[in-house]
Structure 1
Amino acid sequence: MAEDKENAEVPSKKALKKAQKHAEKAAKKAEYKAQKEGDTDQVDSETQDVSEGLYGTLPMNQSSQKIAFEYTFIGDLSKTKANSVVKITGRLHTSRAKGKQCFFVMRMREHSVQCVLAVGDKVSKQMVKFCGNITRESIINVEGKVVATSQKIESCSVQDVEIQVHKVFVESAAEPRLPLQIEDAMRPDTEDAEGLQIRVSQDTRLDNRVLDLRTPINHAIFKVNAGVIKLFRESLEKRGFNEIVCPKLISGASEGGANVFGLSYFERKAFLAQSPQLYKQMAIASDFGKVFTIGPVFRAENSNTHRHLTEFTGLDLEMAFHHHYHEVIQMEDDEDLSTPNEKLLGRLVKAKYDTDFYIMDKYPLAVRPFYTMPDAENPKWSNSYDMFMRGEEILSGAQRIHNPEFLTERAKAHGIAVDTIQSYIDAFRYGCPPHAGGGIGLERVSMLYLGLDNIRKTSLFPRDPKRLTP
């Protein structure tokens, strides 16, 4: 019996094997627990993130801290001293992660620069992976060193330097799926047999106008718009014109006809101004002498053509004259006043089409607004003139009626309720000099100057009979 008891206390081979497995399992659990608790002695050094705090997504900016950072504009990087450390902000245009590196392009307005992030002393694999997963069009902040490149970077506007990145933070993330790709929107409309045939339709562009407007070509278009406005204003101010701001809510149709937007104005009917015409003339009756105004004009025309909008920017002028309305035409024909003109438009137009513009004088009275003065020798025609560029009208003008009785008669002939414009007519009862003026459509001028095929391309957020958003 004693011998049997002694043999029973010796573990069998099966029991030993089971105990060994249990011990190994316990050891693995201990190692996992040590890793979880941050026991760095048992953690593989490659899993450590040496870039912690150098990348990530920033909390929403609520201006909670007044911290001044000196950011360098992307367009100025070529002028920055080599090996300088800079901070830049912009959009992630494209990115490509490859192995231990991530190449990405940052873009802000028409400027772009290549950035490189590579695994090193302070750059971890996790940081490279994070950068490679940032969605396109996100706003990011980058800190890095400006390094000269051995060859030009053709895909960027900054071609002689790149940024070696050591910090990158997402300021505002874009959604992963975009309605259109910016690089697709940047492609010209011309057919290219050897290139990509991906094109973005006009409706897609306009439906997603905020994205479309980010392309360099659109920035250039609206710089031209701004240039035309600036030139118009500066040229007229130089000639003694005074800028005025006219109401857009009016009590009657300023041009007559049915192409006017009506709306409820408390307990009355009101309209969106078809032009600032009535108030330009009232300013002349107030002895301003020469006036101009720049602002929105509304036309309820159901025209779905390439050259019509229901809302456009009017560049309007009015001036008193002494003897003949041609005094206004001659002033408008001055080489550094007219739009187009030698400074901004005329040189290119003349070189390309061998003409700047031409004026068509005298029009049938039936096609002119009610306030247009008829010609004394031929009452069926008006003292009017239109200016044309590349065969399309860019300015319409005429002598205005300054006699209240005759103005009332013409208004009735055009079916206008006189009571809705009575204050306008009364403005001429106290003496008003003869005067004339004209109006230019900004978007049409820019369209023709740039040779574009549609006026919607020169309107920031175009309005036409089918489009009221965005």
Structure 2
Amino acid sequence: MRTPINEVTPETGRAEVAGWVHEIRDLGGLTFFLIRDRTGIIQVTVVKKKASEAVLQAAKAVSRESVVRISGAVKPIDKAPGGRELTPETFEIVSPCESPLPLDVVEKVPADLDTRLDARFLDVRKPRVAAIFKIRSAVTAATYEFFSKRGYYNITSPKVVAAATEGGTELFPIAYFEKEAFLNQSPQLYKQMMMAAGFEKVFEVGPIFRAEEHNTVRHLNEATSIDVEVSFADHNDVMKVLEDLVSHQYATVAETCSDALADLGVEFEVPKAPFPRIPYADAIDIAAKKIDEPIAYGDDLSTPSERAIGEEMGEHYFIVDWPSAIRPYYAMPYEDDPSICKAFDMMHPRMELSSGAQRVHQYDLLVEQIKAKGLSPESFEFYLQPFRYGMPPHAGWGMGMERLIMTMLGLQNIREAVLFPRDRHRVVP
């Protein structure tokens, strides 16, 4: 039906384009239109003394953000976007746009985030906002490419489950016929079960649900998790996989999304593996020296603590050797000191991005640790059963896609990194 705008050059001579009316400037004898599709913007100039009556009528009637189809001659113009201009011979209003608009796509009048999310279909017409999702798409493609080339199986775990994945109460109950069911917090238990199945290396990119009552700029109740599990591997092995993946994701964006990065005005640097590793004990010492609040060994890291450590590190890094008491029951304790486990968090200077560990693969130890967390082994029978029938040593992690994009692009609110965010208050659109 049309030529993508970024493929229109003076050398094409003629072109037919279709898209949205981004901006209109009427100068009396001349009217300039900026027409936008997802590939770019082109200037269309209507010279009133030379244009046909049909073109003049359409140019007079059209409103901003209407969908149009225009054909005509293309010539070079230095000051026009892309250095070319289209003079219309036909000008069709395909779908008119009502006025006033719920928000200004050109962004001369700023809108707050709630207004933007309420009219998200308009918000993402902005090149700057669309750039976020072009980059997110590239990151997703890079993720699949990375694992496929390394022989991982792509799995899909259920999102409707009968028990909590990790214990606790942060669950969304749902009506599931005559049964009690919940939305899954994580594919954790299922990807571990695939280690017993002999799959050895698996990954999944899919939704997770957390009924946390947070209302912050970095929490969502429905998020996308990138999950990995690897057999015959320890925590060091899968930390290397994680840092290599993140470097690959950044490198792919740098290579394929230069136009989107320019739209966002992002200064972009590809992190280099290996990332520094610091023990939990050293991390809390750094935080204690930088912030005015007591931090005891065994405390989880607060947001101010994470920021303080991030300022000190100044790059992606791992916090390793966590106290077993504050990590999940499936984290493998060190043989020589069971009070510490083979768990890790991968951090960006702004926040945590990923959490992982070598897992307990011994049935008796796993049951013991489930009980130590105050949980009932009977509630996890479907998960425990594979551990009786030959479970290999294994390790893995999960990483939040939205936090990855948020930190990669310097976004101020995690809701900007997802098309239709779900938080404590928002369930529409």
TM-score (norm 1): 0.74
Q: What is the identity, as a one-letter code, of the residue corresponding to 1:115?
A: V
Q: Give 1:152 deviation, angstroms.
A: 1.5
Structure 2 residue 251 is the aligned partner of structure 1 residue 343: yes
On the 8 A contact 1:297/1:314 being kept in 2, the answer is: yes
On the 8 A contact 2:247/2:270 being kept in 1, the answer is: no
Q: Give 1:337 deviation, angstroms.
A: 3.1
On the 8 A contact 1:362/1:382 being kept in 2, the answer is: yes
Counterpart pick for 2:166 among 255, 266, 283 = 255
Q: Give 1:445 deviation, angstroms.
A: 1.1
Give ranges in structure 2 of 5+ residues lacking alignment: 255-267, 273-310
Give ranges in structure 1 of 5+ residues lacking alignment: 1-68, 188-197
Q: Give 1:444 deviation, angstroms.
A: 0.7
Larger deviation, residues 361-370 vs 250-259: 361-370
Which residue is equivalent to 1:202?
113
CA 1:94/1:255 → structure 2, altered by over 3 Å: closer, same or farther? same
Counterpart pick for 2:84 among 155, 161, 165 = 161
Two-structure CA RMSD over aligned residues (Å)? 2.5
CA deviation profile, 1:425-446 (whole Å, cap 9, x unmatched)? 1121111001110011111111
Q: Give 1:86 deviation, angstroms.
A: 2.0
CA deviation profile, 1:163-186 (whole Å, cap 9, x unmatched)? 1112111111211211101011xx
Which residue is equivalent to 1:326?
236
Q: Give 1:223 deviation, angstroms.
A: 2.3
Q: How does 1:299-378 map to 2 (within 5 A)?
A: 299-321=210-232, 324-333=234-243, 336-339=244-247, 343-344=251-252, 348=269, 356-378=315-337
Which residue is equivalent to 1:105?
34
- Between the aligned partners of 2:147 and 2:57, the Cα distance in structure 1 is 58
Structure 2 residue 104 is the aligned partner of structure 1 residue 181: yes
Query: What secondary structure, in the 3-state scheme, does the structure 2 residue paired with 1:396 have?
Result: strand
Query: What secondary structure, in the 3-state scheme, does the structure 1 residue paired with 2:132 have?
Result: helix
Q: Give 1:252 deviation, angstroms.
A: 0.7
Query: What secondary structure, in the 3-state scheme, does the structure 1 residue paired with 2:361 have?
Result: coil
Larger deviation, residues 354-363 vs 88-97: 354-363
Q: What is the identity, as a one-letter code, of the residue corresponding to 1:171?
A: V
Query: What secondary structure, in the 3-state scheme, does the structure 2 residue paired with 1:337 have?
Result: helix
On the 8 A contact 2:10/2:75 being kept in 1, the answer is: no
Which residue is equivalent to 1:131?
59
Q: Give 1:413 deviation, angstroms.
A: 4.0
Q: How does 1:66-85 map to 2 (within 5 A)?
A: 69=1, 71-78=2-9, 80-81=11-12, 84-85=13-14
- Between the aligned partners of 1:253 and 1:299, the Cα distance in structure 2 is 11
Q: What is the identity, as a one-letter code, of the residue corresponding to 1:248?
A: K
Q: What is the identity, as a one-letter code, of the residue corresponding to 1:328?
A: V
On the 8 A contact 1:102/1:132 being kept in 2, the answer is: no
Query: What secondary structure, in the 3-state scheme, does the structure 2 residue paired with 1:449 have?
Result: helix
Which residue is equivalent to 2:141?
230
CA 1:341/1:175 → structure 2, altered by over 3 Å: closer, same or farther? closer
On the 8 A contact 2:16/2:72 being kept in 1, the answer is: yes
Structure 2 residue 189 is the aligned partner of structure 1 residue 278: yes
Q: Give 1:145 deviation, angstroms.
A: 1.3
Structure 2 residue 55 is the aligned partner of structure 1 residue 145: no
- Between the aligned partners of 2:227 and 2:94, the Cα distance in structure 1 is 43
On the 8 A contact 1:117/1:166 being kept in 2, the answer is: no
Q: What is the identity, as a one-letter code, of the residue corresponding to 2:235?
A: Y
% same residue: 37
Q: What is the identity, as a one-letter code, of the residue corresponding to 2:245?
A: L
Counterpart pick for 2:359 among 397, 400, 403 = 400
On the 8 A contact 1:349/1:355 being kept in 2, the answer is: no
Q: Give 1:285 deviation, angstroms.
A: 0.5
CA deviation profile, 1:332-378 (whole Å, cap 9, x unmatched)? 44xx4345777348970559x99542111111223222322233333
- Between the aligned partners of 2:248 and 2:214, the Cα distance in structure 1 is 25
On the 8 A contact 1:284/1:433 being kept in 2, the answer is: yes
- Between the aligned partners of 1:232 and 1:74, the Cα distance in structure 2 is 29
On the 8 A contact 1:280/1:318 being kept in 2, the answer is: yes
CA 1:177/1:250 → structure 2, altered by over 3 Å: closer, same or farther? same
Counterpart pick for 1:385 among 344, 350, 353 = 344
Query: What secondary structure, in the 3-state scheme, does the structure 2 residue paired with 1:348 have?
Result: coil
Structure 2 residue 21 is the aligned partner of structure 1 residue 92: yes
Structure 2 residue 156 is the aligned partner of structure 1 residue 245: yes
Q: Give 1:313 deviation, angstroms.
A: 1.0
Q: What is the identity, as a one-letter code, of the residue corresponding to 1:113?
A: I
Q: What is the identity, as a one-letter code, of the residue corresponding to 2:223?
A: F
Q: Give 1:424 deviation, angstroms.
A: 1.4
- Between the aligned partners of 1:359 and 1:370, the Cα distance in structure 2 is 20
Q: Give 1:294 deviation, angstroms.
A: 0.6
Query: What secondary structure, in the 3-state scheme, does the structure 2 residue paired with 1:180 have?
Result: coil
Query: What secondary structure, in the 3-state scheme, does the structure 1 residue paired with 2:134 have?
Result: helix
Query: What secondary structure, in the 3-state scheme, does the structure 1 residue paired with 2:228 have?
Result: strand
TM-score (norm 2): 0.81
CA 1:340/1:259 → structure 2, altered by over 3 Å: closer, same or farther? farther
Q: What is the identity, as a one-letter code, of the residue corresponding to 2:178?
A: E
- Between the aligned partners of 1:445 and 1:220, the Cα distance in structure 2 is 15
- Between the aligned partners of 2:58 and 2:174, the Cα distance in structure 1 is 53
Q: What is the identity, as a one-letter code, of the residue corresponding to 1:235?
A: F
CA 1:344/1:394 → structure 2, altered by over 3 Å: closer, same or farther? farther
- Between the aligned partners of 1:340 and 1:303, the Cα distance in structure 2 is 31
CA deviation profile, 1:66-93 (whole Å, cap 9, x unmatched)? xxx5x21111112643xx3321101011
CA deviation profile, 1:279-306 (whole Å, cap 9, x unmatched)? 1001101011111111111111111111
